[in-house]
Chain A
């Protein structure tokens, strides 16, 4: 039986599409059950005070690879790293299926 890939959300750049923070961009830093995640932006929402969001209320973009890997290992990234990841990762379009040649991009567990 398959597991819902909530952990695959770790390190994904997301945009809030519901709530007062609509339009704000974050990184997923933890998963809570099947539907809920904790998100942080390294500024107003740092690692000390991540925001709880329903996955349904997020637009998912590609993962920030280094951050995803650190989170998968159970490390706690510094806020500065999250800010850099948000600045470096294009987050204006939902992620598309990765073409065969592009297997290095956007792998949540990578």
Chain B
């Protein structure tokens, strides 16, 4: 199992700098999302932005991942590889982005519409953000990883959607993936107790249809088995005594 690293306030301050840059990079990418834009163009934009600010993209080369960001469209859940494909109006696109700055990673993601989307899809996006917020609200002392998963699962399933089980959030810090593992479902009070100074990437993946997912032949792209759409949202947070400290807050709310 991955080791859980407790961060000092000084280390959290460094992660916040990585997080702020990641949020700005994501905002720049989301602004560029439009019909006709290739996913490779978004990747190039992100990488340029991150490197121009003296950091490096966390994902590039991670376990061999070829892109700087993950771009996952419609029924793709996560880990879509950027390429020549063009975004189409009515689609949804998830951008997952990590920044490595001054020895620490910050990881965040958002799913947005490309042009106009139908009401059901819009609801999927909203519920995914609500699920993330519900999970973040549990990321404080005297709670557990199970409390986070339970809160996310409750929001998602009450809305009639399903949470992906085969993939999970994780600790993040000096390594992109640290302990503890953060399933997006579970029993309240279960799992690992949270401690002040843990830094977590909380990231619900919400399927409009069933829970099952498959991995493409590229070894990365995870998509829903039933081809229903899937959305993903993520923040890196520090566990605090009274509440979570979001380290990847967007400077301004991007539209969804």
Contacts and interface: CB of A to CB of B under 8 A. Distances in A.
A1 interface: yes
22 contacts: A1-B96, A3-B169, A5-B167, A5-B181, A5-B183, A7-B180, A8-B183, A65-B190, A73-B192, A97-B210, A98-B185, A103-B150, A103-B153, A103-B185, A107-B183, A107-B187, A109-B146, A109-B149, A109-B181, A109-B183, A109-B190, A110-B186
Given A8-B165, A97-B162, A3 B170 contact: yes
A31 B178 CA distance: 15
A97 to B, nearest CB: 4
A74 interface: yes
A29 to B, nearest CB: 11
Interface of A: 1-5, 7-8, 31, 65, 69, 72-74, 97-100, 103-104, 107-110
Interface string B153-170: 110011000100111111
Given A108-B183, A110-B190, 13 more contacts: A2-B96, A7-B181, A31-B1, A69-B191, A72-B180, A97-B210, A103-B150, A103-B157, A103-B187, A104-B187, A109-B183, A109-B192, A110-B191
A108 B162 CA distance: 17
B181 A110 contact: no
B187 A65 contact: yes
Interface of A is mostly: loop
A1 B168 contact: no
B1 A7 contact: yes
6 nearest A-B pairs in the assembled complex, by CB-CB distance: A110-B190, A107-B186, A110-B187, A100-B157, A7-B181, A109-B191
Q: Which of B58, B165, B211, B232 has the most CB of A within 10 A?
A: B165
A7 B149 CA distance: 14
Given A98-B185, A103-B150, A109-B146, A2 B168 contact: yes
Contacts of B187: 65, 103-104, 107, 110
B139 interface: no
B154 A2 contact: no
Given A110-B186, A110-B187, A5 B176 contact: no
Contacts of B47: none
B210 A1 contact: no
Interface in B116-173: 145-146, 149-150, 153-154, 157-158, 162, 165-170
B197 interface: no
A6 to B, nearest CB: 8
B107 interface: yes
Nearest to A7: B181
A31 B2 CA distance: 10
B93 to A, nearest CB: 16
B166 A5 contact: yes
Contacts of B177: 1, 3
Nearest to A69: B190
A1 B98 contact: yes
For A97, A99, A107, A109, which residue has the most chain B Cβ atoms within 10 angstroms?
A109
Nearest to B189: A110
A108 B163 CA distance: 14
B168 A107 contact: no
